[in-house]
Amino acid sequence: MVFKEEILKRVELNGGWKNNHCHLDRAYTINNENLSRSQISLQEKWAMLRELKTNSTVDGILYRMMKAIDIQANQGVTYINTFLDFDKYSLDKPYKAFELAKEKTYEKYGNIIELECTNQTIEGVIESESRDWFHKGAELCDNIGGLPGRDKDNIDLHLTTIFNEAERYNKGLHIHVDQFSNPNENETELVLDKIDEHNFKNMVSLIHCISLNCHDKEYRESIYKRIKSTNTNIICCPRIWLDRERSETLAPIHNPITAVNEMLNHDINIGIGTDNISDIISAFSDADMYQELVILAMCNRLYDIDKLVKIVTTKLW
Ligand SMILES: [Zn+2]
């Protein structure tokens, strides 16, 4: 028996795939020339992106966004939330392209596919020019984004800045946390502390949380309880961190993916995202939602079709 047909049918009956996290403004920027640099560190890739963003035009970004939207729409995706860079390199070009993409998508697909955006903080939120761009993005986008790993030396100030902004606009927060499958990371815990401090329940979505796997079970369970009690969403991007590099650091054995199977035991809200699509961060990703589901199922040993269909069709706030 092959389950693909049944799963696809059930996803459609449940309202279609929901892609809660991606970066459409950089989709399809991988090419033969930059492919050879796919193995550099993420921090080096962030720096490399500056050149790409400086050279991109609104029309060019729009063209690539529409390619990604068409590919997703053809699979039956009905919701996409994309991060958009807002910084001195990208300026507001991704946002302008996104606004045009929304118009084009509506002309082409009507109300079938809903698009939302979140501002990316890849240059951090502390240096003054970056902070100005963060404020601009926070005002314009549907959700407010965070990337505490970018301000590693001052994570508390990064989180305080994004939480203050989310309170100011009463918008949801989407925060990349614990990406590196490393026991030294505890960003999920730091965000939960901030949620308590700001009494910001029901407003936060955490993307990745992979490093939670590197901590012992007691720690993980205590974090899951806090995620549930604050009604915090979790966005699993199944494929994106499978290529974590080998390391001699010791940690509990795990796959580099969000611990969806353990989180489900706590009835936590979980959705999926594709994250980067054919760019320098994820060269071979082609936004194939069924493949994302298969990776999610295999890496979590989660072979329950009801649960899988619910996850992939859940739109998070
Ligand atoms: Zn991302």
Between the CA of 1 and the centroid of ligand 1 the distance, in Å, is 35
Domains in the chain, please, with CATH? 4-312 (3.20.20.140)
42 pLDDT more than 80: no
List all residues 6 or more positions away from 152 whose beta carbon is below 8 Å from its beta carbon.
none
Determine the distance separating the centroid of ligand 1 and the alpha carbon of 185, expressed in angstroms: 17
CA of 59 to the centre of ligand 1 (A): 23
| Per-residue pLDDT at 41 | 81
pLDDT, tens only, 285-295 = 999 999 999 99
Q: Tell me how far the alpha carbon of residue 189 lies from the centroid of ligand 1, in angstroms.
A: 19
pLDDT digits (tens, 9 = 90+) for 236-277: 999 999 988 899 999 999 999 999 999 999 999 999 999 999
User: Averaged over 205-225, what is the pLDDT?
Assistant: 98
Distance from Cα 84 to the centre of ligand 1, integer Å: 10
pTM of the model: 0.96
Residue 232, pLDDT score: 98
Q: Count of CB atoms within 10 A of residue 245's CB? A: 9
In the structure, what pLDDT confidence band is assigned to residue 55 with cuts at 50, 70 and 90?
Answer: very high
Is the pLDDT score of 143 beyond 80? Answer: yes
For residue 82, how far is its CA from the centre of ligand 1 (angstroms)?
9
